[in-house]
């Protein structure tokens, strides 16, 4: 029971950032099977549709620009040449759409790596005197402490589970978005559909940067809930009274993590202007 109480208290003020190390991985390294699946799907199903979209956009651009020629052959040649050059760039961009997404991933991975290298305040150790008092407390006192700690401990456990789920869901969403990479890029070629392509890139960037904001949330959690903020155990103070006296801080710690994790998605969207 002693170790159980110590582990529950330590869990309220610590998060193993090594578990977030997977955020630094590329899509191909995180899950090779999923990466190959979306790559094959993109090549076999999406690229042909993107080619048709580019062809339609080219026809629409030629028809739209033809109205501006008005009998001026020299100007007409320039307009047609510019349209063809624009279409060539669009084709090249669509063919290399995965490289564009990889560049976005590299930027987010670099930020995540930098955040991971920053030392956060150490957390997880118990305040002075608490460990000894746990060992010396009676079974009735220990049972009362367990009852008091169960709620904040479950909240902390749920918050940390949400973080792990968000890491998995982030990669799953990146894989799903990557499967349609060339189609939104093709939509950038026409003024009426340009916003759709820009929105896709913003969404992809926000999902990528959410890995950085998750890492930042965990670092802030360690800084905002340092164990030094919890008062130590007085000489004549029982373990139960110490728990009750610091119960607000014990309950606040996991709630803070939950709020920070929930805000990570909004922060990522704000970074890319979505």
- Least Cα distance to 226 among 247, 258, 252, 259 occurs for 252
Domain count, the chain: 1
Greater confidence, 178 or 119?
A: 178
Domain limits at 240? 2-31+96-271
Residue 11 lies in a domain: yes
pTM for this entry: 0.78
Cα-based torsion angle of the residue sequence 194, 195, 196, 202 in order, rounded to the nearest 10 degrees: 120
Give mean pLDDT, residues 240-253. 75
Q: Cα 155 to the chain's mean position, in Å?
A: 21
Give the pLDDT confidence of 6-50 residue by residue, as tens digits: 677 777 766 666 667 788 888 888 888 999 999 999 888 888 888
User: Could you give the percent of the chain with pLDDT greater than 90?
Assistant: 6
Using CA atoms, how far apart are residues 33 and 70, in angstroms rounded to an integer? 55
**pLDDT (average), residues 181-198:** 85
Exposure on the CB side of residue 87, measured as CA atoms within 13 A: 18
First to last CA, the chain: 49
Of 182, 219, 183, give the one whose Cα is nearest residue 98.
Answer: 182
Backbone angles phi, psi at 63, to 5 degrees: -65, -40
Asked if residue 170 belongs to a domain, the reply is yes
| Of the candidate ranges 2-11, 65-74, 198-207, the one whose mean pLDDT is the lowest | 65-74
Token pair listed for 43: 């090549």
In the structure, what pLDDT confidence band is assigned to residue 163 with cuts at 50, 70 and 90?
confident
């Amino acid at each position: 029971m002693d170790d159980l109480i110590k582990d529950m208290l330590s869990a309220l003020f610590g998060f193993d950032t090594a578990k977030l190390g997977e955020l630094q991985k590329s899509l191909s390294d995180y899950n090779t099977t999923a990466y190959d699946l979306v790559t094959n799907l993109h090549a076999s199903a999406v690229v042909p549709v993107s080619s048709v979209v580019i062809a339609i956009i080219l026809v629409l651009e030629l028809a739209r620009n033809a109205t501006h020629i008005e009998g001026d052959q020299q100007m007409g040649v320039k307009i047609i040449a510019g349209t063809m050059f624009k279409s060539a760039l669009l084709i090249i961009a669509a063919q290399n759409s995965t490289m564009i997404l990889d560049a976005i991933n590299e930027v987010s991975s670099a930020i995540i790596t930098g955040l991971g290298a920053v030392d956060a305040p150490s957390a997880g150790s118990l305040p002075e005197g608490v460990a000894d008092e746990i060992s010396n407390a009676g079974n009735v006192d220990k049972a009362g402490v367990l009852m008091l700690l169960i709620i904040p401990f479950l909240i902390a456990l749920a918050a940390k589970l949400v973080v792990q789920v968000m890491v998995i869901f982030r990669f799953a969403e990146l894989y799903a978005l990557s499967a349609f990479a060339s189609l939104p890029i093709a939509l950038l070629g026409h003024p009426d559909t340009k916003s759709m392509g820009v929105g896709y890139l913003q969404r992809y960037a926000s999902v990528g940067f959410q890995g950085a904001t998750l890492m930042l949330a965990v670092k802030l959690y360690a800084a905002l809930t340092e164990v030094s903020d919890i008062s130590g155990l007085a000489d004549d103070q029982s373990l139960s009274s110490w728990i009750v006296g610091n119960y607000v801080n014990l309950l606040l710690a996991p709630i803070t993590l939950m709020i920070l994790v929930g805000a990570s998605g909004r922060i990522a969207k704000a970074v890319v202007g979505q």
